[in-house]
Amino acid sequence: MNDEKLNSLETQWPLITEMKAGEEVTWLNERTLKAETDQLPITLEEIEEADARLRRFAPFLATVFPETKATDGIIESPLFEIAHMKRFFEKQHNEKMEGRLYLKADHLLPVAGSVKARGGMYEVLKHAESLAIENDLLSTEEDYSKLASDEMRAFFSRYSLAVGSTGNLGLSIGMTGAALGFQTTVHMSADAKEWKKRRLRDRGVTVIEYEDDYSRAVEEGRVLSAKTENSFFIDDEHSKELFLGYSTAALRLQEQFRENGIIVDADHPLIVYLPCGVGGAPGGIFTGLKRVFGEHVYGFFAEPVQAPCMLLGLMTGLHDEIAVQDVGIELRTEADGLAVGRPSSFVGKAVANDLDGVFTVSDDTLFIYLQQMAALEGEKLEPSALAGIEGPIRAKESGWLDSHLTESQRKGAAHLVWSTGGSLVPEEEMKAMIEKGEHLYAE
């Protein structure tokens, strides 16, 4: 981007100057429309169909992944109230946080250990189902545990899967593809952690590494897949199937809310805070929540200060036509799952009329919250999984809460922080991250 165009953008959007300086910022979406003008790209019927497909695959998943036997092959995470973290924020900011604070613990999702288990596994399973049905090897009335047989693995081995990833999506697709028997290749960006590459290779997945960022890994993966016979490329930037897989979280959350007596209505709004990379997972989840719970759901995305691609795309309206590097941001962050320079155009346009805002968080802040979450709540998360946790504070300090909700609504609100990954991080690496957080907090 030339200097003239950059100067023009900074004049129109002064927040870019603060973003370039590495400052934490909050952007509020003034384009948010009312529910009656809703233009969400997926329907409730499509979400229910995706959920039904995942349930058909439950017997297969329980067979190939022993860790899912306790839930009969259903891939789901728990819901916690995190009152200790709420008190931590109240003390830090010397202000009472109205409503209750919850964690949707997707870092505990089995198999892939991250939010990416939802979309990544779903698209692989849907592709496998289509191939098997087209070749008269499966019907939707059968027990899908048959897909774990040697015969079916031999069939799927004739086909290839590929994906570009900063880490967690690659784990999700790699683990599922390998379990089915697909020849699976994950194109990993420079930000991906070594232990994630090692875990994939241990499962027989081919990992191709790049010295460049996420966008390059996706681009190269797409090209190589197109040149490979019987290869299917899972495109995190444009895939509606990934989006649908993520959206099924809303139906599962609805069940958990019923079980815990949590109400979502005009007097009890739900405000959700979602870590964001290219946008697929948070976009799918938020869209699903809007479809299931309706107009009383509000949402914010959270990004690292060095990777605010969705904020930049939404704020300027340029979506994937602008990258953080274009405005002089280096894209250097320890939050590897969120280390994306260019947002998904599909997702940006899908949430542009409904998302309430985006805020950014520094790496140091993420490590402090990582340490506090482990100490106060006993939950061990990756840095990227902590991006959304101070969302209620940002919503308050930016003036959004007071301008959008009445005092009664603020008191009745449920603030829901969505986690991403963490449970599969090697013990020594997690210990080092906690110690780093302790050191930063002490300063």
Alpha carbon distance 170, 29 (integer Å) = 31
Q: Is the pLDDT of residue 161 over 80?
A: yes
Tell me the chain's radius of gyration from C-alpha atoms. Answer: 21
Using CA atoms, how far residue 123 sits from 117, 163, 239, in Å, is: 10, 11, 9
Q: Are residues 278 and 341 in the same domain?
A: yes
Same domain, 316 and 416: yes
Q: Are residues 296 and 437 in the same domain?
A: yes
Answer with the one of 239, 271, 293 that is the final residue of a domain: 239
Domain range holding 145? Answer: 116-239
pLDDT for residue 34 is more than 60? no
Residue 312's SS3 state is helix
Q: Which residues contact 75 (CB under 8 A, 6 or more apart)?
A: 54, 61, 68, 109, 110, 111, 117, 118, 121
Report the range of poorest mean pLDDT among 30-34, 67-71, 245-249: 30-34
What is the C-alpha separation between 26 and 311, in angstroms, rounded? 9
On whether both 173 and 250 belong to a single domain, the answer is: no
* DSSP-based three-state secondary structure for 424: coil
Do 108 and 137 reside in the same domain of the chain?
no
Q: Same domain for 124 and 104?
A: no
Q: Is the pLDDT of residue 65 over 70?
A: yes
Residue 271 sits in the same domain as residue 223: no
Residue 4: pLDDT over 80? no
Same domain, 296 and 336: yes
Tell me, yes or no, whether 158 and 260 share the same domain: no
Q: Say yes or no: 15 and 155 in one domain.
A: no
Q: Which of 77-91, 232-246, 336-350 is predicted most confidently?
A: 77-91
Residue 36 has pLDDT above 50, yes or no: no
Condensed to tens digits (0 to 9), the pLDDT of residues 171-213 reads 999 999 999 999 999 998 877 889 999 999 999 999 998 887 7
- Shared domain for 121 and 105, answered yes or no, is no
Q: How many structural domains does the chain have?
A: 2
Which residue, of 194, 220, 239, is where some domain finishes? 239
Write the CB contacts of 124 (distance below 8 Å, at least 6 apart in sequence): 161, 173, 176, 177, 180, 182, 234
Asked if 385 and 323 sit in the same domain, the reply is yes
Last residue of a domain, one of 215, 239, 263: 239
Local confidence band at 35 (pLDDT 50, 70, 90 cut-offs): very low
User: What is residue 58's predicted lDDT score, i.e. its pLDDT?
Assistant: 97
Residue with tokens 């996420």: 214
Q: How confident is the model at residue 37 (pLDDT cuts 50, 70, 90)?
A: very low
Average pLDDT over residues 103-108: 97
Mean pLDDT over all residues of the chain? Answer: 93
In this prediction the pTM is: 0.94
- Residue 408 belongs to domain with CATH number: 3.40.50.1100
The predicted structure's pLDDT at residue 224: 87
